[in-house]
Amino acid sequence: MMSWKKCAGAALAAAVSSLVAGAQTAPITLSVDLTDAPRKILHATEVMPVTAGPLTVVYPKWIPGEHGPTGPIENMAGFFITANGQPVKWERDKVDMFAYHLTVPQGVTQLEMKIDFLASSALSGFSAGGSTSENLALLSWNTLLVYPADTDADKVMFTPSVKLPSGWNLGTALDKDGGSGQTSNFKTVSLEQLIDSPVLAGRYFREIPLAPEISPKHYLDMAADGPEQLNLSKEHIADFDKLVRETGALYKSRHYGSYHFLVTLSDEVAHFGLEHHQSSDDRVMATTFTDDREFVLDGLLLPHEFTHSWNAKYRRPAGLATSNYQKPMEGDLLWVYEGLTEYLGDVLAARCGIWTPDQYKQRLSTIAAEYDNRPGRTWRDIQDTATAAQTLYAAGGGWDNWRLSVDYYDEGELVWLDVDTTIRKMTNGKKTIDDFVAKFHGLGGDTGPKVVPYTFDDVVAGLNSVVANDWVMFLRSRLDSNSYHAPLGGLENGGYKLSYTDKPNAWSTLEDQQSETFNFWYSIGLHANKVGNISDVLKGGVADKSGIGPGMKIVAVNGRAYSPDVLKAAIHDAKGSGPAVELILLNTWLL
């Protein structure tokens, strides 16, 4: 049997040697070339100061804001390492696919690393999804770098630069530090700040200063596939001006040097929003800023991601405030991180004029109805959707209402609406959630970008500082509930009651028009598109009990060829003691 002491000593010596080899004596330089972005491939050259000996470098794995080990290692290619012009062989760790082991030769003081990123992913997911087109690119720095293992992201320093295709311009929260031609150099920053500061570049690019009287400065940076997509109206610009002003009134603080909304207007990239401390990566359809319907439907995105600068980046759950990008994150407080942000984002969208008060209420009623009909709540509580977030973001397809997914967003919003209306009720309207936010997220007043972690107990203490209550019981009874029905106390405290009619509300009608799906959820319990493909079926609903499942296709309704209107008419006629709805279906998975 091997001696434990001998084994431990050898391991310790190897660890010390590795740390010495990777000790940083000067910033790492990272030069990214986007000139091939239209061909879906990005290039980087990284020069890392080193000393001789064993060295492990790692590719970022746990990406902030994505709540999972989503680093796109599968699309990292062309990884070559040289020292003084000679190749240095690396070997991938046999367990951790994101780690590379090598030995720095004697006398070598720096390594040059070549990395390509294949930007050819499908138009889905987050930053690893489609991010380029013929005329634009969104650069997420984490896709094109490695850094020494076992080091803190705020201690590793990088000096970055980016080269653009001819005629392109860019927007970013990074501070420029010279450059020439199509190359922009940026000031040295920590790895944490680098990964938190993406670059939006494009041939058709426009930057609009927002609320210019306010400091620090705010900018709307847009890149599009065509120049006409950048022509948003003066009214919409005024909405974003007011958004900046309203956040100041709400949070009583700003925790950044400047803020850039990086908006990608394109049908050729993945559509999502990803928060950063001094910017946000907002990707929407090409016509979102020029089509009023699309502007309304995506009206939450910028307020939501902007709110994350306070609630996620500055005040961050302790389990998500990891020291580097290899350490697993714990998502148990995502109902605060995302749920509260969803609530505040909706409120801000209404306060700044992106939505009318009626549109806000219509959207809220749609959320309440959907989450009041999620039978998966009977086995999985909202707390588990947060705890298991890393397994749920990629989940989708049929039976979602039985499995559940990232319900802590919208059901979390209902919980925080309940918190807000409870505060109002207990203080006779003298205090609101605004008071909690100003204290909790405005802690320390105006600061630069920094992280102030919090725990569940900190949230409870913050609420008690506004109004004394048994907030532990209040929150846990909602988060841990396996009741079939959603927590709708916030609606009731606000003087409203959820009710159903035979006519869809204005918000759900807009959503159906955009997605070209039709909502028969509250009658026969299914969603179908215009050609009859069924995307989901309500567990325990009429369609479920009739043997219908997701992936089937409706061919005929009561002997007539299917159309959404024919099915609507049949359901209407079946009301009360009317004739049953008879469907002919194909069982196919061609959705």
Q: Does residue 227 sit within a domain?
A: no
Query: What are all long-range contacts of 297-301, with beta carbons under 8 Å and residues at least 24 apart?
Result: 297/510, 297/511, 297/514, 299/349, 299/354, 299/355, 299/359, 300/342, 300/345, 300/346, 300/349, 301/273
CATH number at residue 333: 1.10.390.10
Contact yes or no for 421/493 (Cβ under 8 A): yes
**What is the number of H-type helices and E-type strands within the chain?**
19, 29
Q: Are residues 438 and 556 in the same domain?
A: no
Return the pLDDT at 51.
Answer: 97
Q: Does residue 544 sit within a domain?
A: yes
Q: Are residues 446 and 365 in the same domain?
A: yes
Which spans in 331-455 are helix H? 334-337, 339-351, 357-371, 382-387, 389-392, 400-403, 410-426, 433-440
Q: Does residue 265 sit within a domain?
A: no
Q: Are residues 378 and 443 in the same domain?
A: yes
Contact yes or no for 126/274 (Cβ under 8 A): yes
Residue type at 112 in one-letter notation? E
Question: Which of the listed residues 463, 494, 525 is the one where a domain comes to its end?
Answer: 494
Q: Chain-centre distance of CA 7, in angstroms?
A: 44
Q: Are residues 342 and 454 in the same domain?
A: yes
Q: Are residues 477 and 337 in the same domain?
A: yes
Return the pLDDT at 94.
Answer: 98
> If the chain, 591 residues long, is cut into consecutive pieces of 10 residues, what is the mean pLDDT of each piece?
34 40 74 98 98 98 96 97 97 98 98 97 85 97 98 98 98 96 97 98 98 97 97 97 98 97 97 97 97 96 98 98 98 98 98 97 96 97 97 90 97 98 98 98 93 98 98 98 96 94 89 88 95 96 96 96 95 90 84 45
CATH number at residue 569: 2.30.42.10
Measured distance CA(511)–CA(526) in Å, rounded = 16
Q: Does residue 201 sit within a domain?
A: no
Q: Does residue 354 sit within a domain?
A: yes
Return the pLDDT at 589.
Answer: 54
Q: Does residue 362 sit within a domain?
A: yes
Q: Are residues 530 and 412 in the same domain?
A: no
Q: Are residues 576 and 438 in the same domain?
A: no
Q: Does residue 183 sit within a domain?
A: no
Residues in the chain, overall count:
591
Q: Which domain holds residue 567?
A: 516-586
Counted domains in the chain: 2
Q: Are residues 458 and 384 in the same domain?
A: yes
Q: Are residues 577 and 527 in the same domain?
A: yes
Q: Are residues 346 and 400 in the same domain?
A: yes
Q: Across-strand partners of 280?
A: 261, 275
Contact yes or no for 511/297 (Cβ under 8 A): yes
Question: Which of the listed residues 494, 524, 550 is the one where a domain comes to its end?
Answer: 494
Q: Single out the residue of 105, 150, 125, 116 nearest to residue 15, CA to CA.
A: 150
CB atoms within 10 A of CB 525: 21
Return the pLDDT at 6.
Answer: 30
Q: Are residues 348 and 468 in the same domain?
A: yes
Measured distance CA(491)–CA(494) in Å, rounded = 5
Return the pLDDT at 15.
Answer: 41
Rounded (5°) CA angle 21-326-458: 125
Q: What is the pTM of this model?
A: 0.93
CB atoms within 10 A of CB 530: 13
78-113: b or e for each residue (b if 16 or more CB lie within 10 Å)? eeebebeeeebebeeeeeeebbbbbbbeeebebbbb
Both tokens assigned to 454: 């919090």
Q: Does residue 243 sit within a domain?
A: no
Q: Single out the residue of 141, 130, 408 nearest to residue 271, CA to CA.
A: 130
- The position carrying tokens 């650069």 is 139
Question: Which of the listed residues 494, 525, 540 is the one where a domain comes to its end?
Answer: 494
Rounded (5°) CA angle 498-500-505: 90
The secondary structure of 512-549 as a DSSP string is: HHHHTEEE-TTTT-EEEETT-BEEEE-TTSHHHHTT--
Return the pLDDT at 64.
Answer: 96
Return the pLDDT at 17.
Answer: 39
Q: Are residues 542 and 393 in the same domain?
A: no
Contact yes or no for 135/282 (Cβ under 8 A): no
